[in-house]
Structure 1
Amino acid sequence: MKIASWNVNSVRQRQSHVLDWLALEKPDLLGLQEIKCEDGAFPADAFRDAGYESVVVGQKSYNGVAILSRVPFSVTARALPFLADDMPQARYVEIEAEGLTFGNLYLPNGNSGGSAGYEAKLAFMEALALHAQSLLGAGRDVILAGDYNVCPTDEDCAPHALPPTDALLRPETRAAFRRLVWLGLTDAVRALHPHGRYYTFWDYQAGAWPRDCGLRIDHALLSPRIAERLLSAQPDRDERGRAQPSDHVPLVVTLAAP
């Protein structure tokens, strides 16, 4: 089974990129983040013609998440449980497919909005940990994947790519990510590649891509039985070299049959 996550930075601008990638890679599930459109503007018909049904949690101009699936699924959440009602942004959608719970998330960046913006990031991470704990406690097989906006370690951030005070690097951010792992979740990429540059994001500015000045901020966290099935996990760097690319690339996880 192949599961992927991709912050496409506007699905309408990158529709042809996504369709080309689906035709080439044929994932069973693809979580999209930052689709930047309301539900009715999402190109569901184009993806259906390519063999994928979709579930969309959209928002005008900002944020937004969706899941494309070529296997039958049921929707289990359209917002992150345990998150306060005063945070209505479109940042989480969850389905069950093939016995797997797939949560697709777009975690707040935390650098805008001053201290309140950073507190919103930590609140989302707190709610995510509570939800993960609930899913694991219920014995569910889980993948929580998406744009976490977290560099878990210094190795996940190219030298001088960000200042140490950036919300993606702050000690509180990294501690919140470690909490998820300590619940019993496995970072798919680091399970197979403990060291090395496995960046998933390169800024559009300052020649970040040709200089390989990237960040590893897109992650897939796996529950124990899913981690036992892990065959491969890595970003598809080729996408960043295309014309008019997203600043993120797909993160692709392959699982053995149960």
Structure 2
Amino acid sequence: MLKIATFNINGIRSRLPALLAWLDKEAPDIACLQELKAPDAAFPIDEIRNAGYGAIWHGQTSWNGVAILAKGMEPIETRRGLPGDPGDTHSRYLEAAAHGVLVGCLYLPNGNPQPGPKFDYKLAWFERLIKYAAKLHDNGHPVVLAGDYNVVPTDEDIYNPKSWLKDALLQPESREAYRRLLDQGWLDALRARHPDERIYTFWDYFRQHWQKNSGLRIDHVLLNPALAPRLADAGVDRWVRDLPHASDHAPTWIELDMSEKKKPATRARRAKPAA
């Protein structure tokens, strides 16, 4: 089995003990991290290598930041930043090949407060992701898009939508963009494995939301058709959210059966529309 996880660490320096404890216990083969909140020079590469992982990272002082960790190997970087806006200086997308798959690690903009420029940026970034994801989807290679999407796909993915009606994570435009991404043919792995379960990946620090399990599902792992038939399991490492000084997210993971017997069938070509 190949285990791939995504984890919004919410500050890699301050939460490094929790990260190392999780890597030691759960041992994902690939881990995508978001919200490093640290410049490149402050990334704890020595500690991560001592834990048995190679890594690439794209940091940013105080904000954003993404990284890809690969157990027992150095991930091979294939892209740093989304195409489509040369002026975008945010560290939000990183891509690498590792363990036979191509992994895109993303931290989609939050978008609050909305309406306003931050929400406009969120939607513009989403459009760039959708355009680029279409190329990844059809490239013939096994591809994973994992990260903090800052989107609650449906009302079934939140404890109480009425409390969040004005939040950018639940706006119709955010949800519609996520649906258009899935409509390209991506599989939402966690929902595919738990179609009827209230399953969350994020609990904020207010009003005892963690203790009351008042959560949201905003961390998603998407698989293209080359990988979707290999999905064996998916879940959330909730125990990490209960650690002292925890991130407000818990790691979300999938397991893929990469054996030859699970080799996906060749996808039929789409018929071209009549002239």
User: How far apart are the structure 1 equivalents of 2:141 and 2:127?
Assistant: 19
User: Aligned partners of 1:235, 1:129: CA distance in 2, in Å?
Assistant: 25
Deviations 1:48-84 (A, max 9, x none): 01111110100001110111111343100111123x1
Partner of 1:117: 118
Q: Are 1:78 and 2:75 an aligned pair?
A: no
TM-score (norm 1): 0.96
Question: What one-letter code is carried by the residue in structure 1 that aligns with 2:255?
Answer: T
For 2:267, the equivalent position in structure 1 comes to none
Q: Give, in angstroms, the shift of residue 6 of structure 1.
A: 0.2
TM-score normalised by the chain length of structure 2? 0.90
**Structure 1 residues 79-98: aligned runs within 5 Å:** 79-82=81-84, 84-98=85-99
For 1:117, the aligned partner's letter is: K
Any idea what SS the aligned residue of 1:155 has? helix
How far off its partner does 1:166 sit? 1.2
Closer, same or farther in 2 for the Cα pair 1:139/1:52, shift >3 Å? same
Secondary structure of the structure 1 residue equivalent to 2:227: helix
Structure 1 range deviating more: 109-118 or 162-171: 109-118
Distance 1:203 1:72 in 2: 33
Following TM superposition, by how much is the alpha carbon of 1:237 offset from its aligned partner in structure 2, in angstroms? 0.9
CA contact (8 A) 2:147 2:221 kept: yes
**8 Å CA contact 1:5, 1:251 repeated in 2:** yes
The change in CA–CA distance for 1:161 and 1:58 in structure 2 (over 3 A counts) is farther
Task: Show structure 1 runs of 5+ residues with no match.
Answer: none
State the shift of 1:160 in Å: 4.8
Give, in angstroms, the shift of residue 114 of structure 1: 4.8
Superposition map of 1:60-71 within 5 A:
60-70=61-71, 71=73
8 Å contact kept, 1:202–1:212: yes
Read off the aligned partner of 2:77 and give its amino acid letter.
Answer: V
Deviates more, 1:104-113 or 1:228-237: 104-113
Quickly say closer, same or farther: Cα 1:113–1:192, change in 2 above 3 A.
closer
Rounded Cα–Cα distance in structure 1 between residues aligned with 2:98 and 2:162 = 38
Alignment of 1:1-258 (within 5 A): 1-70=2-71, 71-82=73-84, 84-112=85-113, 114-160=115-161, 162-258=163-259
In 2, Cα distance between the equivalents of 1:35 and 1:11? 5
Q: How many Å apart are 1:163 and its aligned residue?
A: 2.5
3-state DSSP of counterpart to 1:214: coil
RMSD: 1.3
Deviations 1:157-201 (A, max 9, x none): 111574212110111100100011100100001111112211000
Distance 2:224 2:138 in 1: 11
Any conservation in 1 of the 2:241–2:249 contact (CA below 8 Å)? yes
CA distance 1:127–1:58, change in 2 (3 Å):
same
Unaligned runs of at least 5 residues, structure 2: 260-275
Further displaced range: 70-79 or 160-169? 160-169
Q: Any conservation in 1 of the 2:69–2:75 contact (CA below 8 Å)?
A: no
* Higher-Rg member (1/2): 2
1: distance between equivalents of 2:113 and 2:250?
23
List, as ranges, runs of 4+ consecutive aligned residues in structure 1 with deviation greater than 3 Å: none
SS in structure 1 opposite 2:4?
strand
Against the structure 1 CA distance between its residues 161 and 204, is the aligned structure 2 distance closer, same or farther, given a 3 Å change threshold?
farther
- In 2, the alpha carbon distance for the partners of 1:45 and 1:108 equals 29
Code of the aligned partner of 2:95:
E
- The structure-2 alpha-carbon separation of the partners of 1:189 and 1:118, relative to structure 1 and needing over 3 Å to count, comes to same
Name the CA distance, whole Å, in 2 between partners of 1:217 and 1:43.
26
- AA of the residue aligned to 2:202: F
User: Does the CA-based 8 Å contact 1:161-1:214 persist in structure 2?
Assistant: no
Cα distance in structure 1, aligned partners of 2:162 and 2:49: 39
Identity of aligned residues (%): 47
**Residues 89 and 161 of structure 1, relative CA distance in 2, 3 Å threshold:** farther
